Chain A
Amino acid sequence: MARITASVYTSHIPAVGVAMDLGKTQEPYWQPVFEGYEYSKEWLKENKPDVVFLVYNDHGTAFSLEMIPTFALGTGAEYPPADEGWGPRPVPMVHGHPELSAHIAQSVIQDDFDLTLINEMPVDHGLTVPLSVMCGQPEAWPFKVIPFHVNVVQYPVPSGKRCFELGQAIRRAVESFDEDLNVQIWGTGGMSHQLQGARAGLINREWDNAFLDRLIADPADLSNMPHIDYVREAGSEGVELVMWLIARGAMADVNGGAAPTVKHRFYHVPASNTAVGHLILENNI
């Protein structure tokens, strides 16, 4: 039986990827950011998954305004890094797990979540930066990745409650897959940031840390928070944090299991325009 062993949460800031690609990680500005992932890289080596179910948002890259699905599941065999305007990032091809994807599609859609299924798409920094901060710069990514896109760009965007419930459906789907697979679910994006207008640069350290506290201790209650609170308190792009509730909803305690162990927690300001948040939770089964 496949099982979800852990969840990882991290911001997916494009400048962090650029800093890695250009070899700037030891510069004084970036050093504290990357130090926050040192433990995580070691932890991932010791807890190497077969598959990472990676929740992120496409930033108008694979999906232009011609078409934006609310929830889209990657079902393909491979996904190339995208050209976001600077040329593609020099990172490895992302390899999927089509069999597990197809199984999850069948299960989650029958569980009343209307997913769009994607066989081919380029993946942008939302997906590749989390891989880089957790894995460093390998020749090939050390596990399969199932991309899962959430629209948080064009409103209306899905509620925290819907995301939390979707995470629960994903856990049921993974656990009903016959092959013995170690699966991690990663929720990415977020912490306070605003990239637009006169209010650009908003950072709410207190709110961000309260979010992390509540995500660990009482995600069900946190999932009821309305979008307007994210936007008002954490900036217009802070709403990306609803994606962390998908990963959290897939953890065992939400279904009556034991509380997860907090393996790592990190918070830093700034990286480019944003706060960096990061958390690793392990299931206790």
Chain B
Amino acid sequence: MSLNKPYKDIPGTTIFDAEESRKGYWLNQFCSSLMKAENRTRFKADERAYLNEWKMTEAQKDAVISRDLNECIRLGGNIYFLARIGATDGLTFQQMAGSMTGMSEEEYRNMMVGGGRSPEGNRYLGEDGDAQPHRQPQGNHNKEEA
């Protein structure tokens, strides 16, 4: 019998369930280690060497080094654990969240000041809201670069 997971049809959203937790265990454990100042120092001194101390997949290590939080999440990372990487880099939570949208920091901040992202069109996959896969990447910033 399959388990009840009604949250698979929300755009741009990965629910961190027991299956994701299993996949991302060592990635998230590495992130947890950054709650100690001496580990932050060691990680910053040589990221690859520090990551090699953990039983992470190469894909997970690459995603950390490139600071691709969406890829980290796809590989089992949880945002509260991944936040330790951002903290080590001196980023705010808003900068971290914004980095996953494809918008520039300013665009994301302006969206929040303007009342945030609308739920309209963003509740189910297949609607036409700005967080839908067919509307990615978002933001003028990204389009100019592309």
Q: Check B94–A15 contact: CB distance below 8 A.
A: yes
Cross-interface CB contact of B13 among A85, A153, A194, cutoff 8 Å? A194
Q: How far is B122's CA from A207's CA once the two chains are assembled, in angstroms?
A: 14
Give the A interface residue count (CB, 8 A). 46
Interface residues of B in 1-18 (CB under 8 A from A): 6-7, 10-18
Measured CB to CB, the nearest residue on chain B to A68 is B21
Q: Check A232–B87 contact: CB distance below 8 A.
A: no
Q: How far is B92's CA from A155's CA once the two chains are assembled, in angstroms?
A: 25
Give the B interface residue count (CB, 8 A). 61
Q: How far is B116's CA from A205's CA once the two chains are assembled, in angstroms?
A: 9
Q: Check B100–A153 contact: CB distance below 8 A.
A: no
Q: How far is B100's CA from A59's CA once the two chains are assembled, in angstroms?
A: 19
Q: How far is B10's CA from A159's CA once the two chains are assembled, in angstroms?
A: 20
Q: Check B112–A201 contact: CB distance below 8 A.
A: yes
Q: How far is B38's CA from A87's CA once the two chains are assembled, in angstroms?
A: 11
A-B contact count (CB 8 A): 165
Cβ of B54 under 8 Å from chain A: no
Cross-interface CB contact of A204 among B13, B83, B97, B119, cutoff 8 Å? B119
A64-B81, A197-B73 known; 8 new pairs, CB 8 Å cut-off, are A14-B93, A85-B83, A85-B88, A200-B117, A202-B122, A228-B7, A233-B123, A269-B115
Contacts of B88 in A (CB 8 A): 85
Contacts of B101 in A (CB 8 A): 197-198, 200-201
Q: Check A198–B15 contact: CB distance below 8 A.
A: no
Q: How far is B102's CA from A205's CA once the two chains are assembled, in angstroms?
A: 24
Contacts of A227 in B (CB 8 A): 7
Cross-interface CB contact of A65 among B28, B35, B92, B133, cutoff 8 Å? B28
Chain A interface residues (CB < 8 Å from chain B): 14-15, 18, 29, 59-61, 64-66, 82-87, 153-156, 192, 194-205, 207, 226-228, 231-233, 236, 269-270, 272-273, 275
Q: Check B117–A64 contact: CB distance below 8 A.
A: no
Q: Check B119–A155 contact: CB distance below 8 A.
A: no
Q: Check A195–B35 contact: CB distance below 8 A.
A: no
Q: Check B94–A231 contact: CB distance below 8 A.
A: no
Q: How far is B14's CA from A155's CA once the two chains are assembled, in angstroms?
A: 11
Cross-interface CB contact of A273 among B17, B18, B112, B124, cutoff 8 Å? B112
